[in-house]
Structure 1
Amino acid sequence: MRILNFKGGPQGLQFNLAAAAIALLPYTFAANAGQNPDLAAVIEKAKQADIVLLGEVHDNPAHHQVQAEVIAAINPVAVVWEMLTQEQAQLLNPEVLAQPAQLGEVLGWAESGWPEFSMYQPIFVASPAAQHWGAAVPRSEARAAVAKGGVAYFGQEDAARFGLDMALSEEEQSEREADQQAAHCNALPHDLLPGMVEVQRLRDASLARAALRAHEGADNAKAGPVVIVTGNGHARLDRGAVVYLRYAAPELSVFSLGQAEDGQIDGTFDVVISSDPVARPDPCAAFN
């Protein structure tokens, strides 16, 4: 069995993909920084990358405003969306994008379960010339993927290309299951946790695959980077989509922006920007 070992060094098939990703990026630092970096400096770093990950807390409008500002400044050749399926993304032709007020309806956003479209609309407006790619694994498909197996769902050839066919070490698997349990208020049956970790990895790999396809399919990849719009968990360098992107295309340069609330964020990013938290109900109330 091939193992993704996030703790050890490069030892044959047991190597640290996350550390390899971080080692290639000299500006990496852990989060919880006190003072926000200058956004202009962040934009300059992003312009130099092939792939730019813009993290978010999904329901924080300030995070989406930062994403829109960065995208408008770097003029990406493509935008990859965690929130859209490829079928939805294919609806975004120039005529549709020219009518931003209608985008939410065209995409069926209200039925998607994501926060209000008004938060995301500025991002679409900021990228009128970009191609749009979807990388979503909807909940209905996620359940089927767990039943079928993430590798089989993703495709054996692509799973090998992106390293999705490599098992996590026992320690890493346990850590991720504990994270999933904590994120769900310690209310989940333990037998569900391995499947939830598998789905998270599948979504990471799906974002990486869409970004690489967008980069390879661009008419002029030098014209601008490919941007991934996603939650912080997928944007982190130590276990997110970057791990699978690095495995498939180690020659590409990557830049990751994490967005915190009151400086609190899990994971490692190139840069972290913090905003005020959003008032939201107790997420654990639903489990009571």
Structure 2
Amino acid sequence: MSLRALALTFGLCAALPVAAQDVVILGEVHDNPAHHAEQAAQVARFQPAAIVFEMLTEDQAAQVTTELRGDAKALAEALDWADSGWPDFTMYHPIFTAAPEAEIYGALVPRPIAREVFDIGPAKVFGEEAARYGLHRGLDPAEQATREAMQMAAHCDALPEDMLPGMVAVQRLRDAVLARAVIRAMDETGGPVAVITGNGHARRDWGVPAVLAEVAPDLDVWVLGQTEDDRPIEGEFDTVKSAPAADRPDPCAAFQ
């Protein structure tokens, strides 16, 4: 029995020495500082050869130099983080320094490219190897309906219903782009690889792990989901950790 399987069997995932894995996918609620602290701790323990960030484009990832890495302000400026729409960079910076030798990869799908999905579909936007990453086929109708309902709830029930299939397709595109970045990082560095992403992409049942299971089934993947105040979390994960909820305004207030 592998170390990962042993840990799953006896409920030891939270203490698992994660260096046994090829890929560690670390989910988050984006604006929760405790979740980023946990990610940094896992990266420090794992010491990956590469880190894939959902929050960075490939061009931004190329800006992460050894000289900038230890300077949070300078790195944030180089990444133009203030205009990115992501939460404060001080929450993410410790992840960059937790494994200072790790190569940084970006897997962000910019909004203009994501919008193309509504017109031409995720496979054409993804391009070469779309079929390999599962984007050539539709979802099971029950899963499609569940995903659409989740998108509606995530957007405060304010989306036009005809947008929902496109929103699901964009999510699938983002999963595939993240998985492609993992494969590239494995090929170029030999691994292991850590992935920093939201819980929706981290979930094992239909997020990045599901894509990797299809594209590279021999990879050993461990997945952490993070919730708040012990609330149930959507999806399947190898282990789930909870932290106090972040202090945030009502995200639906703007729609009322």
Q: Same fold (TM over 0.5)?
A: yes
1:261 aligns with 2:228: yes
Corresponding residue pairs, total: 251
Please, which of 148, 152, 161 is the counterpart of residue 124 of structure 2? 152
Report SS of the residue matched to 1:161.
coil
* CA distance in 1: counterparts of 2:179 and 2:90, whole angstroms: 26
Residue 141 of structure 2 is matched in structure 1 by 170
* CA distance in 2: counterparts of 1:243 and 1:62, whole angstroms: 26
Report SS of the residue matched to 1:274.
strand
Q: Higher RCO, 1 or 2 (CA under 8 Å, sep at least 6)?
A: 1
Residue 140 of structure 1 is matched in structure 2 by 112
**Offset at residue 73 of structure 1 (A):** 1.3
* CA distance in 2: counterparts of 1:275 and 1:37, whole angstroms: 18
* CA distance in 1: counterparts of 2:253 and 2:22, whole angstroms: 42
**Offset at residue 74 of structure 1 (A):** 1.2
Partner amino acid, structure 1, of 2:211: Y
What's the C-alpha RMSD, in Å, of the aligned pairs? 1.8
Partner amino acid, structure 1, of 2:247: A
1:86 aligns with 2:58: yes
1:273 aligns with 2:241: yes
Q: Does the aligned pair in 2 maintain the 1:100–1:125 contact within 8 Å?
A: no
**Offset at residue 51 of structure 1 (A):** 0.8
Query: How do residues 22-33 of structure 1 correspond to structure 2 at under 5 angstroms?
Result: none
* CA distance in 1: counterparts of 2:204 and 2:8, whole angstroms: 9
Q: Does the aligned pair in 1 maintain the 2:25–2:195 contact within 8 Å?
A: yes
Partner amino acid, structure 2, of 1:239: W
Query: How do residues 1-12 of structure 1 correspond to structure 2 at under 5 angstroms?
Result: none
1:129 aligns with 2:96: no
Q: For residues 185-240 of structure 1, what are the alpha-carbon distances to aligned partners after superposition, in whole Å with 9 as ceiling and x for unaligned?
A: 1111100000000000000111100001100111x43xxx2000000111110111
* CA distance in 2: counterparts of 1:196 and 1:28, whole angstroms: 33
- 4+ residue stretches of structure 1 with deviation over 6 A? none
Q: Does the aligned pair in 2 maintain the 1:135–1:207 contact within 8 Å?
A: yes
Please, which of 176, 185, 197 is the counterpart of residue 230 of structure 1? 197
Q: Does the aligned pair in 2 maintain the 1:205–1:241 contact within 8 Å?
A: yes
Q: Which deviates more, 234-243 or 94-103?
A: 94-103
**Offset at residue 38 of structure 1 (A):** 7.6
**Offset at residue 284 of structure 1 (A):** 1.0
**Offset at residue 100 of structure 1 (A):** 3.2
* CA distance in 2: counterparts of 1:256 and 1:38, whole angstroms: 10
* CA distance in 2: counterparts of 1:117 and 1:259, whole angstroms: 19
* CA distance in 2: counterparts of 1:47 and 1:64, whole angstroms: 19
Report SS of the residue matched to 1:179.
helix
Q: Does the aligned pair in 1 maintain the 2:72–2:93 contact within 8 Å?
A: yes
Residue 248 of structure 1 is matched in structure 2 by 215
Residue 49 of structure 2 is matched in structure 1 by 77
TM-score w.r.t. the length of structure 2 is: 0.93
Residue 9 of structure 1 is matched in structure 2 by none
Please, which of 62, 79, 82 is the counterpart of residue 110 of structure 1? 82
Partner amino acid, structure 2, of 1:159: A
**Offset at residue 143 of structure 1 (A):** 0.6
**Offset at residue 128 of structure 1 (A):** 1.1
Q: Does the aligned pair in 2 maintain the 1:28–1:268 contact within 8 Å?
A: no
Q: Does the aligned pair in 2 maintain the 1:78–1:226 contact within 8 Å?
A: yes
* CA distance in 2: counterparts of 1:26 and 1:178, whole angstroms: 36
Please, which of 180, 188, 201 is the counterpart of residue 159 of structure 2? 188
**Offset at residue 37 of structure 1 (A):** 6.6
* CA distance in 2: counterparts of 1:26 and 1:136, whole angstroms: 34
Which consecutive residues of structure 2, in runs of 5 or more, have no partner in the other structure? none
Residue 286 of structure 1 is matched in structure 2 by 254
Residue 35 of structure 2 is matched in structure 1 by 63
Closer, same or farther: CA 202–188 of 1 in aligned 2, 3 Å: same
**Offset at residue 146 of structure 1 (A):** 2.4
Report SS of the residue matched to 1:269.
coil
Which consecutive residues of structure 1, in runs of 5 or more, have no partner in the other structure? 1-23, 30-35
1:239 aligns with 2:210: no
Q: For residues 136-181 of structure 1, what are the alpha-carbon distances to aligned partners after superposition, in whole Å with 9 as ceiling and x for unaligned?
A: 01222211232221100101x3211111212101111111001101
TM-score w.r.t. the length of structure 1 is: 0.83
